[in-house]
A and B are shown apart, each in its own frame.
Chain A
Amino acid sequence: MNWVWFHRFGSPPHFYRLATGMTPWFAWAAALLCIAGVIGGLGLAPADYRQGDGFRIIYVHAPSAWLSMMVYVVMASSAAVGLIWRMSVSHAIAASCAIIGASFTAVALGTGMLWGRPMWGTYWEWDPRLTSELLLLFLYLGYLGLRSAIDDTGRADRASAVLAIVGVVNVPIIHYSVIWWNSLHQAPSVMKFDKPDIPASMLVPLLMMLAGFTALFFALLLIRARGEVLRRERNARWAADALNVAAGKV
């Protein structure tokens, strides 16, 4: 097994350069997919036979909920890599995830409430799916709070990594909550192994939104992680090159 890529990825200057180059690709993919997805979801998809036009909330709710969980898994796994191999780039990536994840968890909860009111007759119910998603928001906020309470970046990285790794148990609980327990929330209709339950004109915009939000997350992550890598950098030489500053010539 060739581990060169792993070591190169862990090198801050290499990561910084790679992230700078990749950001526009993710950003454009996100913009195009989300615009097409919104047009498809609001304009082209037919109204649902039971929920009418109310079901169109799915095109922002499901991608946000997907991000809320995927971002947490990215955060916990890069925190674990950072903790095990003492990789500062990995810690920088983990630290960049939290605020993005927290905001999309809030959107998933908010749009879920706006969807629940007309369909279930209530904004909120202490249902397994809703409760575990709320717990996810608190995990993100706890992670952010813990980081900001510790001044030393290295210690903040290690302490918050432990929290992120422990909290990852909640992700499968969220995902399987609708299957394990009786829930108001519907079971997954797209992310299952056999054929999805919805017609193509409804499904395609949804897949576009899911891909678009995922691309948006990676664009945001790469922008933030570059900043976090710079904050962790003590050896100024490559940073000076990257920022076009001539060190020593002030």
Chain B
Amino acid sequence: MEHFLNMGGYARYVWPSYALALLAVVLNIYWARRSLRDAQSQARRRIERAGQSDAIKKGAP
């Protein structure tokens, strides 16, 4: 295990590289999902507002 973690003396270059790549993957997944969620809730609000103004025009209570 220690041998593996040592990476033949290159540990200080190999592990930060993998950590950087993992960070980018995790951040991208989080950002993409957040971006979709934001767009969905904006669209939902827009639709609900449009629905309300339709109801007002029709003279509904």
A residues in contact (CB < 8 Å) with B: 34, 38, 42-43, 47, 52-54, 56-57, 60-61, 64, 99-100, 103-104, 106-107, 110-111, 114-115, 117-118, 216, 220, 223-224, 226-228, 230-231, 233, 236, 239-240, 243, 245-250
Contact = CB atoms under 8 A, between A and B. Distances in A.
A59 to B, nearest CB: 8
Please tell me the size bucket of the interface on B: 35 or more
A231 B9 CA distance: 50
A64 B21 contact: yes
Given A54-B8, A114-B16, A239-B47, A227 B24 contact: no
B43 A57 contact: no
A122 to B, nearest CB: 13
Given A220-B32, A243-B40, A111 B51 contact: no
A130 to B, nearest CB: 16
Interface in B7-24: 7-10, 13-14, 16-18, 20-21, 24
Contacts of B16: 114
A224 B32 contact: yes
Contact of B39 (A42, A47, A227): A227
A60 B37 CA distance: 29
A56 B32 contact: no
Closest 5 CB pairs of A and B: A227-B39, A53-B8, A60-B21, A54-B10, A248-B51
B39 A236 contact: no
B52 A56 contact: no
Contact of B21 (A47, A100, A107, A239): A107
Given A104-B24, A216-B25, A231-B42, A245 B47 contact: yes
Contacts of A111: 17, 20-21
A220 B47 CA distance: 26
A117 B17 contact: no
Contacts of A223: 32-33, 35-36
Contact of B47 (A54, A61, A247): A247
